[in-house]
Structure formats: structure tokens, C-alpha cells
């Protein structure tokens, strides 16, 4: 047990609501680090007799070749609006109250203390330096003599908050038995385990790579091993799921599958950080599959970070493509949501890549000639055989609804009519509920794709280029489904319904009804993408496969019934694709990474 200098409880009162943030000062005049060698800055924390004495530090540049001796601070930055000033090399330096508390409590009475503190040692206004330093942060924490995990200065102090008798010897407190009951010990440990520090994203890396850890709080410190033993010994509900215990298990299992980048992002998606890029960059140094490098660059947009992450996941040799889009949606969420890229930015990204192919790629074992292609798990579900009314008319004109139902009855094989009617009813209900959102999900664009289907297409469908109108019947195809219930008089300008000829079946197949963009034509192939609601429309144009748009599909009959039962409990969905990998109609579709992102919008 380490004791820092004692102080009166009144020395640092709780902040009041009237506390005002400090006025911003000039940026600290950092001397640049040498980018040609691996090195960093260290903080020389000067001693002080009293808690309220001004905090004075000096900065020292070191290279790792010098084998510097230092301790690394792991802490939560705290409220950035409440700024406090310390002195570094004689210059004022703005910091947060939590870091000020840590420096006050950690400094010695007589001797200097050498620390590495990210907010001080990294020039936060220099993105190039920040990117380089964060890339070597795992080594910085691994190289430290001790990692000091600062839980904070509890206000009021722990013994007062937990009704604990004054603790004269905290060394005794952390061992079973003695004069402290399990109830007293548990009260304090619950407070320590619920400190905001444990919710911070960066501690996962900082603690996991450390050789030695001390848990620091108020003026006390305890070794990690003793802290975890005490937490394990106290009986309270769900103790195994508190964050310190989960970190302990991760440290013991850090060379296993769970330490791949994807798993770390998934397992810690609730961890907190102020910089959204850190939801990815904060795990790169810890991830077992990032040994070949991952591009850390804080100058990149959030959309570029998303692309880097998904291309890295997709390039893994032998990796599963089955969850690429599901993982893509999670990364989109932790980086800030769909707004991290607009439709215009996606279009510009595609245009720039067409003009400058191969720039800025992450290959990481990719065999594709195009480093921006993703292999996405997909399923060929069928082709468009018939068109119906526009989105507007089906929702506003009762006559069109009647005509649409008559079309289903006339052109769907008799054995499937009842199911198709149910699917249509729920599909129209979903379209009404989701309104403009549904229309935004359906888009058109022409782009060549590379697709080498690993499945057998039942027949070659002749694309007539025909689409919509009014009621002239055409011939019936061999499976009993007429090729069109409407004949095209002019190219449509609105999204319109279609009937799908399914190639296959089963409980996880979509329904036979969908909504397509104006460019859709009879014979276009429909492929579902695993894990998302939208499907893609692919056209075989004289042997050249072309992605012509995005469609939505109805749920199948079983899912339609379930949706009715649960409509009060869940948001109505279109035909989401949750097929099992390796099925008879599954294949890998090669899509540009920007188009894959567009599939996630809506």
C-alpha cells in the first residue's frame, strides 16, 4: 500500500454549480518531437508540501533507446468545460479538474516524480504528432514501470460516503478478516468499481498491456492483484460482470480470438470517449490482428475511418464475410451514425476512385485487384417478373389497391396467392408507417460490379427493357408466373411495386413483393445482403453485370404473421436478410466500399 501526503478534507471542496470554465489561454508552446525516432515527452512533476500548492512540471524529450524510467497515468479527462491551470516549463497549461486532482495527489513531498500523461505529453493540436504517438501508446504503457489507474478524488471522501469508520491502514482494509465487515468492505469496493473511470475506452488498452498496475484514489493506492482479490471475495450481485472483473478476464485472454479488432470494437461499443475515431483507434494497439499495421490518422474524416475499418475486416484471410454489413453498421454507429457521410460525399468518393484507382488502399492480404472491393455475403433470391402501381398511387388511390390485389391473384401461382396477399398487406402497412424513410431507402445508380457467382442461376432471363403500365397481358412463363401485368408506355419516374419470381424458398426467404427504383426492368436479378433490410438490383447487360439500384422486399408469410402479432412491440421492417451462410443460393458479391456504405443508409 502506498500513501501519498495527507490533506484536510476541506482543502478541495466539491465544485459548486456556479463554477465557471476558465478563460482559454494561448496554446502551449510545444517543442516538436523528432518524427524520425521513436520517442515521446515525459512530465517531471515537482514535489510539494501541501495539497493546494501550485502544480509545477517540466517536460523532457526522450527516446525509447535511452530506456527511460517513468510511470504512466491512466485516467479520465473529466469535464472539458471546467479548466484549471498548472505550470509547465514556466508557461500556463490548461487542464481538467480531474487531472489536476491526480497530479496534486500523486506528487511526492520531497522528490520529483516522472510521469507520462497523454493530455500533457502529446500535443493535442497537432494531428500528425497525435497519430504517431497513439500508434505507439501500447508500447508507452507496456514500457512504464507502473501504470497508475486514477479513479478520482471522491467528493465527499469514500469513508464518509459509505458510512465506513475512518480507515487508518488501508492495507488491512483490502484483505478479508480483521475489523472490517464484508458489508463495510463491499460498500467501498462498489463505489470504487462504479467510478466513471471504468467507462473510459482508453483504459482497456492502458491496463491490458501494463506490466504492473496500481489502483489510485484519493490519497491511496493499492496493487491491482490485491484490488481484484478483494473485489472477487466480496459477495454482491453480478460481481463477475463489473468492469474490473471483465478487464481481468480480458487480460488473461489477450492472445485469444477475442482480441481481434472487430471483437474489441463489438465488446466495448458502450465505452466512452470524446473523439469518435477512438472507438476504432483506441483498440488498434491491443488488437492481435493489427500487428501488420492499421492506418491511424486523425486528419481523416469519419467516413474514411469507417472505410479503413471495414476494408481491414474484409481483407482478413479466411475471415467470414457473413457479418460484414452487420459490423459495418456497428462501426457507423460508434463513429457517429449515418450522418458521417452524405450521399454527395459517397458519390464524390466513387468518382475520385474511378479517376485514381488504387490510391490509399489497405491491402492486408487482399487478393482482389481492386483494394476498395468488399466481398459481401449475399443470396440470389430471384428476378423481377412483373410490375405494379407506383408508390404514390398505391397509397392514395383505392382503385390501384384493388388492381394490385387482382394482379397478385392473377399472376402469382395459385399455391402462393394467399401468402402473397398477406405479404402485400403488411408491406403496404410498413410503407405507410415509414413514409419518406422508405422512399429514401430505394436508390438508383449505374455501376459495373465484379460478380463471380458461386451458385447456379436457373435460367438466363431475357431483359426486354420493359417496365410499367396498364393492363395488356403478356405470355405466361413456364412456372405459371406471367412476365408482366403492366406494359411500359413511358419510362417511370417514381418507385414502383414489383412481383418477384423466387428461386428457392424456406422460412428465411423474402416475400414475393417489393418496391424498386424507376430504372428497374423485367429480368433484373435481386440479391439480398446479409443482415440488412435493403437488397440490390443487378442487371446482366450482354455479359456485363451492372448494379442498377437498391430495392426493399416484403417479409415472407411467416414473418408477416409474426409482424402483425408484434406490431405494437417493434418497428415494422422490410424483408431483412438473415440467411445462414453456405446455403444453396448464397454467394459473395463484390461491391465497392462506398456502395456498401450506401446500403446501410436508411
CA nearest 121: which of 66, 62, 40?
40
Same domain assignment for residues 293 and 433: no
With respect to residue 274, please indicate whether it lies within any of the assigned structural domains: yes
pLDDT of 399 higher than 70: yes
> pLDDT at residue 591 above 50?
yes
Name the range with the highest mean pLDDT among 12-16, 54-58, 233-237.
54-58
Worst-scoring range by mean pLDDT, 195-209, 248-262, 480-494, 518-532?
A: 480-494
513 shares its domain with 571:
yes
Q: Are 301 and 595 contacting, i.e. CB atoms less than 8 angstroms apart?
A: no
pTM of the model: 0.80
Which is more confidently placed, 467 or 160?
Answer: 160
Q: Alpha-carbon distance 72 to 217, whole Å? A: 15
Residue 452 scores a pLDDT above 60: no
pLDDT interval class at 109 (50, 70, 90): very high
**Residue 370 to residues 315, 359, 365, 377: CA-CA distances in angstroms?**
11, 10, 12, 18
Q: Which of 105-114, 293-302, 364-373 has the highest mean pLDDT?
A: 105-114
Task: Identify whether residues 452 and 544 lie together within a single domain.
Answer: yes
| Unique residue bearing C-alpha cell 436478410 | 577
Helix or strand run (H / E) with residue 379: strand 373-390
Does a structural domain hold residue 351? no
pLDDT of 480 over the 60 cut:
no
Residues 143 and 231 in one domain: yes
In a shared domain, residues 47 and 123: yes
Whether 422 is covered by a domain: the verdict is: yes
Rounded Cα distance between 89 and 56, Å, is 8
For the segment 372-380, the average pLDDT, to the nearest whole number, is 84
pLDDT at residue 167 in the model:
56
| pLDDT surpasses 80 at 164 | no
Last-in-domain residue among 206, 225, 252: 252
CA separation for the pair 599, 593 (Å, rounded)? 10
- CA–CA gap between residue 545 and residue 447 (Å, rounded): 9
At 318, is the pLDDT very low, low, confident or very high (cuts 50, 70, 90)?
Answer: low
**Predicted confidence (pLDDT) at residue 363 exceeds the cutoff of 80:** no
188 and 152 belong to one structural domain: yes
Q: What is the mean pLDDT of the chain?
A: 79
CB 538 within 8 A of CB 451: yes
Q: Please tell me which residue, 580 or 407, carries the higher pLDDT value.
A: 407
Tell me: do 101 and 67 sit in the same domain.
yes
Give the range among 257-261, 267-271, 521-525 with minimum mean pLDDT.
Answer: 257-261
Q: Burial code of 143-173, b = ≥16 C-beta within 10 A, e = fewer?
A: bbebbbbbbbbbeebbbeebebeebeebeeb
Note down the domain range covering 275: 257-341
Residues 195 and 318 placed together within one structural domain of the fold: no
Residues 518-539: tens digit of each pLDDT: 889 888 999 988 888 889 888 8
Confidence of residue 159 (pLDDT cuts 50, 70, 90): low
Alpha-carbon distance of 550 to 484, in angstroms, equals 21
Question: How many distinct structural domains can be found in the chain?
Answer: 3
Amino acid at each position: 500500500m502506498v500513501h501519498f501526503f495527507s490533506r484536510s478534507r476541506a482543502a478541495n471542496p466539491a465544485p459548486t454549480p456556479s463554477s465557471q470554465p476558465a478563460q482559454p489561454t494561448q496554446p502551449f508552446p510545444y517543442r516538436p518531437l523528432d518524427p524520425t525516432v521513436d520517442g515521446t515527452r515525459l512530465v517531471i512533476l515537482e514535489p510539494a508540501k501541501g495539497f493546494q500548492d501550485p502544480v509545477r512540471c517540466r517536460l523532457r524529450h526522450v527516446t525509447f533507446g535511452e530506456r527511460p524510467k517513468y510511470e504512466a497515468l491512466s485516467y479520465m479527462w473529466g469535464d472539458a468545460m471546467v479548466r484549471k491551470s498548472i505550470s509547465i516549463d514556466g508557461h500556463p497549461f490548461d487542464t481538467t479538474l480531474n487531472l489536476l486532482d491526480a497530479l496534486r495527489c500523486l506528487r511526492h513531498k520531497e522528490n520529483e516524480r516522472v510521469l507520462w500523461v497523454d493530455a500533457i505529453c502529446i500535443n493535442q493540436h497537432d494531428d500528425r504528432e497525435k497519430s504517431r504517438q497513439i500508434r505507439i501508446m501500447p508500447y508507452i504503457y507496456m514500457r512504464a514501470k507502473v501504470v497508475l489507474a486514477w479513479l478520482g478524488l471522491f467528493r465527499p471522501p469514500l469513508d464518509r460516503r459509505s458510512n465506513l469508520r475512518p480507515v487508518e491502514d488501508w492495507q488491512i482494509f483490502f484483505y478479508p478478516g480483521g475489523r472490517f465487515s464484508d458489508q463495510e468492505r463491499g460498500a467501498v469496493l462498489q463505489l470504487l468499481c462504479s467510478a466513471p473511470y471504468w467507462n473510459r475506452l482508453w483504459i482497456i488498452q492502458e491496463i491490458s498491456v501494463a506490466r504492473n498496475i496500481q489502483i489510485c484514489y484519493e490519497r491511496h493506492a493499492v496493487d491491482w492483484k490485491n484490488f481484484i482479490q478483494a473485489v472477487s471475495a466480496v459477495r454482491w450481485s453480478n460481481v463477475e460482470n463489473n468492469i474490473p472483473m471483465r478487464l481481468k478476464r480480458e487480460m488473461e485472454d489477450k492472445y485469444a480470438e477475442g482480441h481481434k479488432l472487430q471483437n474489441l470494437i463489438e465488446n466495448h461499443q458502450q465505452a466512452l470517449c470524446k473523439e469518435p475515431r477512438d472507438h476504432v483507434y483506441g483498440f488498434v494497439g491491443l488488437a492481435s490482428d493489427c500487428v501488420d499495421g492499421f492506418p491511424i490518422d486523425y486528419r481523416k474524416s469519419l467516413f474514411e475511418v469507417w472505410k479503413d475499418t471495414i476494408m481491414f475486416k474484409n481483407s482478413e484471410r479466411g475471415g467470414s464475410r457473413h457479418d460484414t454489413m452487420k459490423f459495418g453498421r456497428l462501426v457507423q454507429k460508434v463513429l457517429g451514425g449515418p450522418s458521417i457521410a452524405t450521399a454527395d460525399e459517397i458519390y464524390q468518393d466513387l468518382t475520385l476512385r474511378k479517376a485514381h484507382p488504387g490510391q490509399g488502399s489497405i491491402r492486408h492480404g487482399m487478393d482482389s485487384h481492386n483494394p476498395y472491393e468488399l466481398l459481401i455475403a449475399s443470396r440470389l433470391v430471384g428476378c423481377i417478373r412483373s410490375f405494379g402501381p407506383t408508390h404514390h398511387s398505391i397509397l392514395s388511390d383505392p382503385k390501384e389497391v384493388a388492381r394490385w390485389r387482382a394482379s397478385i391473384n392473377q399472376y402469382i401461382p395459385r399455391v402462393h396467392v394467399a401468402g402473397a396477399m398477406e405479404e402485400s398487406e403488411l408491406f403496404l402497412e410498413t410503407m405507410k408507417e415509414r413514409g419518406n424513410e422508405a422512399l429514401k431507402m430505394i436508390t438508383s445508380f449505374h455501376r459495373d460490379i465484379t460478380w463471380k457467382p458461386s451458385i447456379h442461376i436457373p435460367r438466363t432471363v431475357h431483359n426486354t427493357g420493359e417496365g410499367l403500365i396498364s393492363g395488356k397481358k403478356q405470355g405466361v412463363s413456364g412456372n405459371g408466373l406471367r412476365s408482366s401485368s403492366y406494359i411500359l408506355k413511358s419510362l417511370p419516374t417514381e418507385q414502383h411495386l414489383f412481383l418477384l419470381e423466387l428461386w428457392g424458398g424456406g422460412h428465411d426467404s423474402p416475400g414475393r413483393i417489393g418496391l424498386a427504383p424507376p430504372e428497374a426492368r423485367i429480368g433484373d436479378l435481386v440479391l439480398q445482403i446479409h443482415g440488412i433490410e435493403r437488397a440490390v438490383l443487378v442487371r446482366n447487360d450482354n455479359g456485363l453485370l451492372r448494379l442498377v439500384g437498391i430495392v426493399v422486399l416484403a417479409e415472407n408469410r411467416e414473418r408477416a404473421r409474426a409482424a402483425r402479432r408484434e406490431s405494437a412491440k417493434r418497428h415494422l421492417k422490410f424483408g431483412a436478410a438473415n440467411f445462414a451462410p453456405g446455403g444453396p443460393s448464397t454467394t459473395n458479391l463484390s461491391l465497392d466500399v462506398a456502395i456498401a456504405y450506401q446500403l446501410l443508409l436508411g
